[in-house]
Structure 1
Amino acid sequence: MNAKTIALAVPLAAALLTATATAPASAAYGGPWSSAWGTSPQTPTHTPWFANWSEEGFADQSVRQVIRVGAGGSELRVRVTNLYGKTPLKLTGATVARTAGGAAVQPESVRALRFDGAQSVTVPAGGQLSSDAVALPVKAFEQLTVTFYFEGPTGPATFHNVAMSLSYRATGDHRRDAAADAFAAGPPSLSWSYLAGVDVKNARPGGAGDAGGSRKAVVAFGDSLTDGFGATPGADRRYPDELAKRLAAEGRSRPVLNAGIGGNKVLNDSDCFGESALSRFRRDALGRPDVGTVVLLEGTNDIVQPEGPQDHCTAGSPKVTAEEIIAGYRQLIREAHTRGVRVIGATIPPFHGSKYWTERGEDVRTAVNHWIRTGGAYDGVVDFDRVLAAPADPARPKEVKVKEEYVLEMDHLHMKDAGYKAMADAFDLNSL
């Protein structure tokens, strides 16, 4: 959906999962199940910033992936996605275990994943499946390792690009290996493949493992600033991670689910950066019935991508106005409110110093942020712009930059660990 389409549709330019692949995502959460971890799927593609395995897929290979759950429980289940697959996906077998560092796992914790009692399962093209319940008690903030083994060729793999967590692969079936030896042959990836989410069951109420009840999950929805590009890989220091730690430290433990996609835009799709926020919001943010609040941080890429070189990643990025971005926000807010979900609006941080900065873009960013703060459409506001910004030069009031201790010097666009922690610290926890 492009900006012109939205303009026609809305005044002023307005614009997971069951054991069967064809049922709606919301049907995956019933009874005692709650979200503990999730990510947003993307279509297979080559990206220039770091290599991934999505286009080639896997054949006679084991793929070992590390995640950190945000809620604990007595049992868990793993969700597998073939959302962008063109053919059925044959998963020969899989395991889940507690992480022991790198590609190693704690041997006594290794559990086989089964699907309707079987170790192997076929996920239809465009489908998603949940495993059977696994008796592996987990705590909030514990790292888990999921290992998939694909005997036959998978074809291009549905994946999540900017995981900022290391994944490993090995030739042959090594799903039960506790040691990391077989996975040391090649470089790891910073992406997840075929992995959609983890749910937990029978969380302990009020404790560190509390999954938080029926509507207490927070979804952080956005672009690379939500995905955590620039954070230390494997350290779980994205802003949603830091926000979850703050909540737990203050006795308000609840899962914060990351639905960011690096490069994502409010108004337009991209081969590399996923479907637009308008296209994926219902699935990635509202498709979890236990979500009570969404934090919306999008718009930077709508502004900056038209200013840079156009390639297969940025093609279809027309220049947009503040009114068009705001109209997109209004549509997302309406969709959330229709489902009884609160929306916290996040202001767009500065990016002066980036090669994509222009005076026009700064005018758009300023206008959008003014509306976020004063428009009254959101249920609350978190002001990343003011928290991250360095003091402005009075002689150059538009040239606002992010504080040096927060921003990556390589692009003046993304944060390092300190910046993401400052973003998490900016929240009024009562707004959640």
Structure 2
Amino acid sequence: MITRKAIGLSLLIVAIGLDTGVTSASGASAASGAPSGNRVTVWGTSLSMGGGPTLGQQTIRMVAHANAAGSQLRIRLSNLRGTTPLAVGAVSIAAQSDGATPVPGTLRTVTFSQAKTLSIPAGADVVSDPIPMSVAAEQNVLVSVYLPQGSRSPCWHSDAFDRTWLSTTGDHTGDVGNGNYAQSTTSWYYLAGVDVVPSEARGTVVAFGDSITDGYSTPTSAYQRWPDALARRLAEDRHPMGVVDAGIGGNKVLTDAPNNLGIAALKRFAHDALEQPGVRTVILMEGINDIGNDAGPNGGPLTAQDLINGYKALIDQAHRAGVRILGGTMLPFKGAGYYNDAREAIRQAGNQWIRTSGAFDGVVDFDAATRDPSNPAAMHPKYDCGDHLHPNRIGMQAMANAVDLKLLYPKGQ
């Protein structure tokens, strides 16, 4: 297990709930209050460094869509990929009414080790004090973060497929209306997770991958990514679980991608997947960008064995952390811009290994669920968003439907 320097921070509000804990650059978490073993993550994302816009001395109001119910929320802010300390002047949380407007009476100040202001070191995460507030499944909360010194190169998630509002100059974390939030964007900044003491959920599932998992082509604020659909399936089956979407557009297994496309899965897996509160199972589907960019581990051409070696390393990380990992087969991509027959052969070899090696704790055959039976190298037209690489809304649901839910449940359930 990778170790991490603990900072020891927490959060307190009077209407939305979190616990305490801190994490650092290398990837292990250290609790600074109540242990996180009984908590689940109900919203989370993966952050990258570089390529983001300069932020002024303003407040960022972001939406987190909870996919399971619970109380005593905690929020996690991350400067993990940052290179300089981040000054945070104030943080608030509220139930969302509409847009940047909170539900009346729900706005609460968030504290960290009982402090309202803090500096997050470069390479570190901070976790708030527990907020005495409840959240329902499918409920949105607004998290507002005031940056008194701004930020030139923020840690961010470029493609949120959700709405974020940027205020005029100053601390507007306490605003109960949207008048000072004149601009909006579709990225998240510094906000990495929300976890709760669950009402019913029995653990956290992490969907780990690239732009397909990230939800490319799905409508803004519609929550139609396949991890969203999976969370709803679990709830409908009366086995709710927190589901984290740890997808980053353009991400690769073996090598880093520039700017907002994130560091390699091998480097970010421990932090983004294995350290999520309550994590029991990871569903891994990644590799198509390695193939499409012919990105071998040493700057040379990619082979199927290179990709398989990467999968083995991720499986080993998961098992050493006591976490189950399911292998998701790579989707068909014939017709996409970087398709060719040689690359298709690598995809087929990688998928065959996922299905038959027995190295994973289970398999989700996303390929079989989305391919065109009359042209198996291509996605079925009814699932294709139009670029022959990313599924549309119907395709995202088909991916969620391909998951055998029993693979995710605790033993005996």
* 1:22-171 matched pairs, under 5 angstroms: 22=24, 25-28=28-31, 29-30=35-36, 32-45=38-51, 54-56=52-54, 58-171=55-168
Partner of 1:422: 398
Q: Give me the whole-angstrom Cα distance separating, in 1, the residues matched to 2:297 and 2:253.
A: 15
Partner of 1:402: 379
From the superposition, tell whether residues 77 and 17 of structure 1 become closer, same or farther in structure 2 (CA, over 3 Å): farther
Match of 1:344 among 305, 311, 326: 326
**Is the contact made by 1:21 and 1:124 (CA closer than 8 Å) also made in structure 2?**
no
Q: Give me the whole-angstrom Cα distance separating, in 1, the residues matched to 2:78 and 2:149.
A: 17
The CA deviation at 1:289 is: 5.2
User: Is 1:354 aligned with 2:350?
Assistant: no
The CA deviation at 1:391 is: 2.0
Partner of 1:266: 253
Partner of 1:278: 266
Partner of 2:201: 211
Q: Give me the whole-angstrom Cα distance separating, in 1, the residues matched to 2:384 and 2:60.
A: 33
Deviations, residues 392-418 of structure 1 (Å, cap 9, x unaligned): 24xxxxx72112221111x21111111
More strand by share: 2
Partner of 1:12: none
**Is the contact made by 2:48 and 2:155 (CA closer than 8 Å) also made in structure 1?**
yes
Q: Give me the whole-angstrom Cα distance separating, in 1, the residues matched to 2:24 and 2:402.
A: 40
Aligned-partner residue type, residue 260 of structure 1: G
CA RMSD of aligned residues (A): 2.1
Deviations, residues 36-73 of structure 1 (Å, cap 9, x unaligned): 2211121121xxxxxxxx241x2221111111112322
Q: Give me the whole-angstrom Cα distance separating, in 2, the residues matched to 1:113 and 1:42.
A: 24
Q: Give me the whole-angstrom Cα distance separating, in 2, the residues matched to 1:322 and 1:316.
A: 14
User: Is 1:325 aligned with 2:313?
Assistant: no
Match of 1:324, SS state, is: helix
Aligned-partner residue type, residue 222 of structure 2: A
TM-score, normalised by the number of residues in structure 2: 0.88
Match of 1:249 among 230, 236, 239: 236
Partner of 1:299: 287
Partner of 2:345: 363
Q: Give me the whole-angstrom Cα distance separating, in 1, the residues matched to 2:7 and 2:148.
A: 25
**Is the contact made by 2:297 and 2:306 (CA closer than 8 Å) also made in structure 1?**
no
User: Is 1:413 aligned with 2:381?
Assistant: no
Q: Give me the whole-angstrom Cα distance separating, in 2, the residues matched to 1:25 and 1:181.
A: 40
Deviations, residues 329-358 of structure 1 (Å, cap 9, x unaligned): 011112211222111111101111111110
Between the two proteins, the alignment pairs up a number of residues equal to 385
The CA deviation at 1:85 is: 2.0
Partner of 2:176: 178
Decide which moves more: 104-113 or 66-75: 66-75
The CA deviation at 1:384 is: 0.8
Q: Give me the whole-angstrom Cα distance separating, in 2, the residues matched to 1:21 and 1:362.
A: 40
TM-score, normalised by the number of residues in structure 1: 0.84
From the superposition, tell whether residues 21 and 250 of structure 1 become closer, same or farther in structure 2 (CA, over 3 Å): closer
Q: Give me the whole-angstrom Cα distance separating, in 1, the residues matched to 2:47 and 2:24.
A: 17
**Is the contact made by 1:26 and 1:289 (CA closer than 8 Å) also made in structure 2?**
no
Partner of 2:221: 234
From the superposition, tell whether residues 378 and 22 of structure 1 become closer, same or farther in structure 2 (CA, over 3 Å): closer
**Is the contact made by 2:41 and 2:277 (CA closer than 8 Å) also made in structure 1?**
no
Partner of 2:211: 224
Partner of 2:19: none
Q: Give me the whole-angstrom Cα distance separating, in 2, the residues matched to 1:159 and 1:404.
A: 33
The CA deviation at 1:316 is: 8.4
The CA deviation at 1:256 is: 1.1
Q: Give me the whole-angstrom Cα distance separating, in 2, the residues matched to 1:229 and 1:289.
A: 26
Q: Give me the whole-angstrom Cα distance separating, in 1, the residues matched to 2:58 and 2:163.
A: 17
Partner of 1:431: 407
The CA deviation at 1:306 is: 3.6
Partner of 1:207: none
Decide which moves more: 321-330 or 169-178: 169-178
Q: Give me the whole-angstrom Cα distance separating, in 1, the residues matched to 2:308 and 2:352.
A: 11
Aligned-partner residue type, residue 402 of structure 1: M
Deviations, residues 163-197 of structure 1 (Å, cap 9, x unaligned): 111111011322122322322x33x2221101011
